Amino acid sequence: MLTRTSRYALTAMTTLMVAASGFATASVAEPAFKEHCSKCHARASSVARSFDGSEEQRKKAFDRFLSTHYAEDPQVRAKIIAYLLTAAQ
Ligand code: HEC
């Protein structure tokens, strides 16, 4: 059985892992899109459908493309990709 302390530690760790893995809600990622992309792409939905395939394939295609297209920073890129994947739905 977990003690109160270790249960707290587990929750804190999970929260950190989710944050670090680049899962971001639209409200978090939108400023990044605005800052890095909206100058040329007014609406995310116009670029969000660029690549076909499963979510995993699209994520990889975005990652490859954006690494040389205005989102060189991997952390910024992860946020923008998470946002684009939700924006395309
Ligand atoms: C300075 C202008 C500019 C900025 C900033 C910019 N883009 Fe683009 N982007 C373009 C142009 C022009 C094209 C179309 C020509 C091309 O494919 O290179 C394009 C194409 C794309 C495509 C289509 C690729 C394809 O092959 O279908 C995607 C996706 C995209 N941009 C996403 C982004 C994202 C996300 C950002 C922010 C990180 C961004 N762009 C920032 C100008 C820009």
| For ligand 1, atom 1: residue with the closest CA | 40
Question: 69 C-alpha vs ligand 1 centroid, how far in Å?
Answer: 6
Which ranges in the chain belong to alpha helices (H)?
A: 4-20, 26-36, 45-48, 55-66, 74-87
**In the prediction, which pLDDT does 18 show?**
46
Tell me: the pLDDT tens digits for 17-71?
444 444 545 455 689 999 999 999 999 988 999 999 999 999 999 999 999 999 9
For ligand 1, the distance from its centroid to the CA atom of residue 17, given in whole angstroms, is 30
Q: Residue 21's closest CA among 11, 30, 13, 33?
A: 13
Closest ligand 1 atom number to CA of residue 81 = 35
Q: What is the pLDDT of residues 49-64, one digit of tens each?
A: 999 999 999 999 999 9
- Retrieve residue 32's tokens: 């990044």
Confidence (pTM): 0.76
Do residues 88 and 45 make contact, with C-beta atoms less than 8 angstroms apart?
yes
